[in-house]
Amino acid sequence: MSAERRLFFALSLPAKLQKQVIKWRADNFPAETGRPVAAANLHITLAFLGEISELKAQALTRVAGRIQAKKFSLTLDDIGHWPGSGVVWIGTKRAPNALLQLASVLRSHAARNGCHQTTLPFHPHVSLYRSATRPVAIPPATPQWLLEATEFSLYESQYEKGRTRYRCLQTWPLAD
């Protein structure tokens, strides 16, 4: 039997936006806030699949290729801290319907293929810090970055030599 892999569907951030976000993060949070997420790992998770078999991964890859979803844009204009999970994040105050629908369809396909889905409502966000378990002084606002979502991807989360790396396995375009 082949090994299981830890997979998730996500929206990536363009390289320019990754750089802007990490510069803003360094300017606005003290170093002791938590474990900063690497620039290349900044993303918005659409559906977390967990550790899954190659067979399930193939089924979900086929399903993803058949999804007809539209391009959308969103403004990253919200910031927060979840002390329980130790995540400091940026997100959006107004999630576009197209984003909610894309996440919902991916989550329901994931659930139908046996990938446990959280019952918590979908809260689109980019994790900036992990292990942020102490109180964090949250800056009053973000610079209101615009994110144009033109595609979504399947990623594999790999943990090697003390580092997490997200490897993009496949990308699908969103329609005009």
Other Cβ atoms closer than 10 A to 159: 9
Whether residue 109 lies in the annotated active site? no
Q: Tokens 């209101």 identify what position?
A: 144
Which residue in 8, 72, 129, 145 binds ligand 2AM (CB under 6 A)? 8
Instruction: Tell which positions 20-49 bind ligand 2AM, by CB under 6 A.
Output: 45, 48
**Nearest distance from residue 101's CB to ligand 2AM, in Å?**
19
Q: What is the distance between the terminal CA atoms of the chain, rounded to a whole angstrom? A: 41
Q: Is 123 a known active-site residue?
A: no
CA gap 101, 170 in Å, rounded: 20
Q: Is 157 in the site for ligand 2AM (CB under 6 A)?
A: yes
What's 2's DSSP letter? P
Shortest separation between residue 146's beta carbon and ligand 2AM, angstroms: 21
Distance separating alpha carbons of residues 76 and 68, to the nearest angstrom: 24
> Which lies closer to ligand 2AM via its Cβ, residue 8 or residue 145?
8
Nearer to ligand 2AM, 6 or 70 (CB): 6
Joined tokens for residue 2: 């082949």
Specify the residue, 70 or 165, whose C-beta has the smaller distance to ligand 2AM: 165
**97 touches 176 (CB < 8 A):** no
Q: What minimum distance in Å lies between the beta carbon of 58 and ligand 2AM?
A: 20
Distance CA 138, CA 80 (A): 7
Nearer to ligand 2AM, 138 or 175 (CB): 138
List residues binding ligand 2AM (CB under 6 A).
Answer: 8, 45, 48, 87, 127, 157
